[in-house]
Amino acid sequence: MDKLALLGGTPTKTQPFPDWPQYDAQEREALLNVLESRAWWREPGTQTQAFEEAFAAYQEAKYGIACTNGTAAIEIMIAALEIGLGDEVIVPDFTFVATASAVLLHGALPVLVDVDKDTYCIDPQKVEAAITKRTKAIIAVHLAGHPADLDALREIAEKHQLYLLEDSSHAHGSEWKGHKVGALGKAGTFSFQQSKLMTAGEGGIILTNDPELEVRLRSVHDCGRMPGEWFYSHFINGGNYRLSEWQGAILSQQLSRFDVQGKVRSTNAAYLNQHLLEIEGITPQLFDRRVTRNGHYCYVFTYDPDCFAGLPTGEFIKALEAEGIPTQASYPPLHALDLFKNGEYLKRLLPEHASEQKPYSDEDFSVTEVGFRNSVWLVHRALLGDEQDTNEIVEAVRKIQQQAKTIK
């Protein structure tokens, strides 16, 4: 066997994985059509509305409100539900900061809880233990495309009369018990940022099945306007979060090829599940049997350094990258971010609410900390290759394990 690429050997992967984003003549034609229409923003255009309707239908939701990005989508959702000062929203500690910062933006407290050790999604038992008289909502993050335990979370939400919200930024096309995620609670959000499973560089959307909430969501995203009213009428506090026609046009084309890409990702992820499990020290993210489809924003596995001659996770990732296998960084625990360690977040709360808070360092986030230290995230374009490409991922991991002692 050739020595590790990190040490000057030949990489396992000599041909690149498919590029991302993917596009073809469809996107070019769609953009040209928008250019020539001279309707470049939403109001006189048709592209964004067409995408909203198509994506909502694809995700089995009645309504979709497209907006500038995934972070804005969560902010709009929180605003439309009138969650604000004095309120609390339970969120997982293992997620991107936007899940929590969108709550803080409106003066509510994101209550951080630990995640499930097998899926890295929010732990329902920890959720129920964190509920207080101030709690208004739970945000379920479908990490890496794997849905959270929506049965347990819905039961908790109904029992305590809370909103169940979904951060589906990773979960385009994902299914829970045969139903697409995103509108299985009160509302849910998606992101179309560059790295996501569908992209227009930036973009987001909020889905819901509630007609009254749809009106408020649309109003918040459009400067407080209401449908059918004079353009300069503003009925509630909102902002300009409208998606452009350029992005709507691109996203419609991205959606048209999404199922084909999804099948390739699922096939290759299943191959990795089978063969990486054969390698001691590699544990793929658990696939809950109630999950009937995982969108696979990333392929996540937990790495045990003890089975690789004590090689630290960071060094393993460097070796994997050198072998030609692309990865992305795991999210740091929210409780460890400066925003939450230095007390800056307390400035967004009512003084009496802030005075009630204990430091997050007093809480147990042990599973999140393991996930941050020892999980490895393969980018989803690595799942868009053929069987040889996927097998080379397995062979790269085996190669590193066999030669881990040579890395100093």
> 380 an active-site residue?
no
How far, in Å, are 97, 369, 401 from residue 332 at the CA level?
9, 8, 26
Tokens representing residue 372 in the block: 């941050």
Query: What DSSP state is assigned to residue 5?
Result: G
Is residue 195 a contact partner of residue 201, using CB atoms and an 8 Å limit?
no
Closest by CA position to 89, among listed 142, 146, 180, 167: 167
Closest by CA position to 324, among listed 397, 270, 376, 272: 397
> 340 an active-site residue?
no
Instruction: Give phi and psi for 207, each to the nearest 5.
Output: -115, 145
> 38 an active-site residue?
no
Tokens representing residue 226 in the block: 């209401």
> 196 an active-site residue?
yes
Q: Which of 232, 338, 347, 362 is catalytic?
A: 232
Q: Which of 42, 180, 218, 225 is catalytic?
A: 225
Is residue 396 a contact partner of residue 5, using CB atoms and an 8 Å limit?
no
CA distance 379 to 195: 8
Amino acid occupying residue 291: V
> 170 an active-site residue?
yes
Given the DSSP bridges, would you call strands 282-284 and 298-303 parallel, antiparallel or unpaired?
antiparallel
CA distance 87 to 77: 15
**Which residue's entry shows tokens 């819905």?**
154
CA distance 286 to 360: 27
> 193 an active-site residue?
yes
Size (the chain), residues: 408
Q: Which of 193, 234, 257, 287 is catalytic?
A: 193
Q: Which of 242, 265, 380, 399 is catalytic?
A: 242
Q: Which of 13, 142, 146, 170 is catalytic?
A: 170
Q: Which of 196, 296, 335, 348 is catalytic?
A: 196
Closest by CA position to 165, among listed 196, 136, 197: 136
Q: Which of 114, 116, 167, 389 is catalytic?
A: 167
Residues catalogued as catalytic: 96, 167, 170, 193, 196, 225, 232, 242
